[in-house]
Chain A
Amino acid sequence: MAKKMKFSIYRYNPEKDAKPYFKDIEVEIGDHDKKLLNALVKIKDDLDDSLSFRRSCREGVCGSDAMSINGRNGLACLTDLADLKEPVVLAPIPGLPVIRDLIVDMTQFFHQYNSIKPYVIDDRPMPERERLQSPEDRKELDGVIECILCACCSTSCPSFWWNPDKFLGPAALLHAYRFLADSRDQATNERLDDLNDPYRLFRCHTIMNCVDVCPKHLNPTKAISRIKETMLARQV
């Protein structure tokens, strides 16, 4: 049965709006419109083509459509409309500069990600075939490699809001752990040296918002504590 749903959406177009505002809009929800993204696409197609948001895979694997949904970060494509209280308040993920409507400038976020050297460092000559890795060693990467870089975690983290330029944030730290945990990586010391900084790593105050909001159910806080453990073990 079709029914109408109410939304209140953050709008900002720098060309014409002096400041951002929330705009109310009602849209008819059809039987097949299960997810929030369906409703947003419908608004854009049928009612207002100026509503701006990112989206691509619509199945939670590309990480494009992170937004603040009733005050909580999540992916529009994985959020059930049926679970949402009306009016559904939609805003950009917090803490990053807004370009337009729900689209934020993610430069800072990716800068932090790139800064942890997000690649396996192993300068030894490569074998002709694959390097070997035991299933146990490989298992260490589960719960980490599923990250889709949607930024739900980092932009829900107060420490990242205050110091987005100095604190790596949960997403980049999760990846920092991913490479420390990879048995093929040979740069553990170098990586730990880079992280051993009052801001880069140690601004994490285990508030755990990141764990709460991750749409892939990953646990950056745990990864961060594993980094700290590794660091401590090195000192001993």
Chain B
Amino acid sequence: MSLPILKFDAVVVGGGGAGLRASLQLSEAGVKTVVLSKVFPTRSHTAAAQGGISASFGNSEEDNWHWHMYDTVKGADWLGDQDAIEFMCKQATDAVAELEHYGMPFDRLDNGKIYQRPFGGHMADFGKKPVRRACAVADRTGHAMLHALYQRNVKAQTHFFVEWMALDLIRDKAGDVVGVTALEMETGQVYIIHAKAVLFATGGSGRIYQASTNAFINTGDGVGMALRAGLPVEDIEFWQFHPTGLAGAGVLITEGVRGEGGYLLNANGERFMERYAPTAKDLASRDVVSRAMQVEINEGRGCGTNKDYVLLKLDHLGADVIDQRLPGIREISIQFLGIDPVKQPIPVVPTCHYMMGGIPTNYKGEVLDGVDEKIVKGFYAAGECACASVHGANRLGTNSLLDLVVFGKSAGNSVIEFVKTMSDHKELPENAGQYSLERMAKLESTTGEKVADVRFAMQVCMQQHASVFRTQKVLDDGVMKMREIYERAKNVVIEDKSTVFNTARVEALEFLNTVEVALATMVAAAARTESRGAHAREDFPDRNDEVWMKHTLYYRDGQKLEYKEVHTEPLTVDYIPPAKRVY
């Protein structure tokens, strides 16, 4: 069966922060571009980011990008690539100013400058004391940013295919990327999008876990597609557990609460973070705070009947501050738990939040294959689906939104340059699209398991075997179970066979991506016998730089692992050598 072919110079897959920043760059440069998005762009998960976007403006107190870079390197537990980190931190003020110029409605200081609040791991003077670096729009920063970027794309007349899902990468014999297959949900039609360049901005995959702050759409589509196309995924064992997910509901409560002066309490009413991080206290890195909370819970100092959560206290901030700076989380807390934080503390638990790993790229957004980092021609990635790697083993709060705009733009610029060198499209391989059609046909089979059942098994397995604390036994069991689940996933079917807006089919195709991410995570985690950032091994409690200061590469074929070196040469400044990570 031959599929209809649509031709563009560039296709951006994903319409969240990174995709929209990239498409803006491309549209303004006049590159014939289309953005594919599973949802209308303003429905992307960037909208759920709350606390802020980091940039060392120093609007309230002295700050500079060197300190921001140091914090990011340290936050990443020295697994970040320092060239990419320097690039991002140095660009931050320009990138955020640009957002302001686009109309993003930042909160303001009395002098008219952007309001900045303290955040976890943001420190002045190379880790000495907390600094106000997070530029905020109340606690709705991501929403404001996403809308501003969409609005600017309206101005630039960006071309969107809304409610289209990319299915597979198309690579030619040389391994170059020449397009994607994609499903138009409304009609059920599959197309080949033939492009000179493909830019993935497909977001995260937090839905591999049972409890997650992530939206339903965060299903790791980009990573799944890259893995199926034979490319590796980097550092996928590193998942951030956000300290303050709403207990029971999983919904995010921003770190900005602690930035504004809130703090955590155990069942004894003790402000326990003082014991774990004497200087930064509740504003230590997220991995540090999440582990501390889990220890408190594990040692019986959790709150509630089941002693399974801790409390986030902020009533002392007063109704005025809460309504001005944190109105969204007040609303969420009342909505989902019936608790008004103006009067009562909020029950919170560490909750899966962010995928530090992803498709390997350099700071230009070019996708890299293998230990020798060979550039994959025609393929670019940015945002959460990519691993540049700026977040290393643990991401700092607010660096995610920054990552989206800095690397969205930089990947966009790389595409512009690349497209200029391509007088014409490379030819499509003969069988382009066949693989996607076969994968879809399999779902139509009359015998097999329900997607929801296998997906649930995967989420439970991840939750039990790859959580905040990990051991060899628990991980090995997890690998075994996940391999079984992966086999079961090969036989999932849908009952609904119709063509028009078949969300059962979409969910099945999403799950086939998600399960790739889950298995990759488990295999990579079981292999890393050290503790670094968010990967905390009870049986290997220390970081082991001699053996493990290296990036994991996982390949789908044979579930193979390779390791490549961390970039230790920043672009212009001195290397920041590993040190003990104390907050």
A→B interface (CB under 8 Å): 13-16, 32, 34-35, 44-46, 49-50, 52-64, 78, 99-100, 103, 106, 110, 114, 117-120, 122, 126-135, 137-138, 141, 145-146, 148-149, 182, 184-185
Taking CB as reference atom, which chain A residue is nearest B187? Answer: A99
Contacts of B93 in A (CB 8 A): 129
Asked whether B477 is an interface residue with its Cβ less than 8 Å from the other chain, the reply is no
Taking CB as reference atom, which chain A residue is nearest B494? Answer: A49
Contacts of B43 in A (CB 8 A): 54, 56-57, 62-64
Contact between chains at B154 and A118 (CB < 8 Å) = yes
Contact between chains at A130 and B114 (CB < 8 Å) = yes
Contact between chains at B101 and A15 (CB < 8 Å) = no
Contacts of A32 in B (CB 8 A): 248
With contact pairs A131-B101, A133-B108, A138-B105 given, residues A57 and B494 touching in the complex (Cβ less than 8 Å): no
A54 to B142 CA separation, bound complex (whole angstroms): 21
Contact between chains at B100 and A131 (CB < 8 Å) = yes
Taking CB as reference atom, which chain B residue is nearest A62? Answer: B43
Contact between chains at B140 and A146 (CB < 8 Å) = yes
Contacts of A34 in B (CB 8 A): 249, 336
Contacts of B143 in A (CB 8 A): 61, 146, 148
Contact between chains at B151 and A129 (CB < 8 Å) = no
Contact between chains at A184 and B103 (CB < 8 Å) = yes
What are 15 contact pairs spanning A and B, CB under 8 A? Answer: A49-B451, A54-B39, A56-B43, A56-B217, A57-B215, A59-B48, A59-B336, A110-B40, A119-B152, A126-B97, A128-B94, A128-B97, A135-B109, A138-B105, A145-B137
Contacts of A35 in B (CB 8 A): 336
Tell me, rounded to whole Å, the shortest Cβ–Cβ distance linking B447 to chain A.
Answer: 16
Tell me, rounded to whole Å, the shortest Cβ–Cβ distance linking B48 to chain A.
Answer: 5
Contact between chains at B108 and A138 (CB < 8 Å) = yes
Tell me, rounded to whole Å, the shortest Cβ–Cβ distance linking A112 to chain B.
Answer: 12
Tell me, rounded to whole Å, the shortest Cβ–Cβ distance linking A103 to chain B.
Answer: 5
A58 to B336 CA separation, bound complex (whole angstroms): 11
A118 to B114 CA separation, bound complex (whole angstroms): 22
With contact pairs A46-B452, A56-B217, A149-B42 given, residues A61 and B500 touching in the complex (Cβ less than 8 Å): no
Contacts of B155 in A (CB 8 A): 117, 119
A58 to B332 CA separation, bound complex (whole angstroms): 11
Contact between chains at A53 and B503 (CB < 8 Å) = yes
A4 to B154 CA separation, bound complex (whole angstroms): 46
Tell me, rounded to whole Å, the shortest Cβ–Cβ distance linking A91 to chain B.
Answer: 16
Contacts of B102 in A (CB 8 A): 119-120
Contact between chains at A52 and B114 (CB < 8 Å) = no
Asked whether B111 is an interface residue with its Cβ less than 8 Å from the other chain, the reply is yes
Asked whether B495 is an interface residue with its Cβ less than 8 Å from the other chain, the reply is yes
Q: On chain B, which size bracket covers the interface? A: 35 or more
With contact pairs A50-B498, A52-B503, A135-B110 given, residues A145 and B105 touching in the complex (Cβ less than 8 Å): yes
Asked whether B251 is an interface residue with its Cβ less than 8 Å from the other chain, the reply is yes
Q: For window 383-433 of chain B, which residues contact chain A by CB distance below 8 Å? A: none
A45 to B503 CA separation, bound complex (whole angstroms): 11
Contact between chains at B500 and A130 (CB < 8 Å) = no
Interface flags, B165-198, vs A, CB<8A=1, else 0: 0000000000000000000001000000000000
Contact between chains at A59 and B332 (CB < 8 Å) = yes
Contacts of B111 in A (CB 8 A): 132
- B57 contact from A50, A55, A129, A182, Cβ within 8 A: A129
Q: For window 72-118 of chain B, which residues contact chain A by CB distance below 8 Å? A: 93-94, 96-97, 100-103, 105-114
A62 to B114 CA separation, bound complex (whole angstroms): 25
A90 to B155 CA separation, bound complex (whole angstroms): 36
Contacts of A134 in B (CB 8 A): 108, 110, 112
With contact pairs A62-B39, A129-B57, A132-B113 given, residues A57 and B47 touching in the complex (Cβ less than 8 Å): yes
Contacts of A78 in B (CB 8 A): 335
A144 to B45 CA separation, bound complex (whole angstroms): 20
Asked whether B520 is an interface residue with its Cβ less than 8 Å from the other chain, the reply is no
Contacts of B435 in A (CB 8 A): none
Asked whether B382 is an interface residue with its Cβ less than 8 Å from the other chain, the reply is no
With contact pairs A49-B494, A118-B154, A130-B100 given, residues A57 and B45 touching in the complex (Cβ less than 8 Å): yes
Asked whether B504 is an interface residue with its Cβ less than 8 Å from the other chain, the reply is yes
With contact pairs A62-B47, A110-B40, A145-B144 given, residues A50 and B217 touching in the complex (Cβ less than 8 Å): no
Residue among B148, B216, B249, B251 with most chain A CB within 10 A: B216
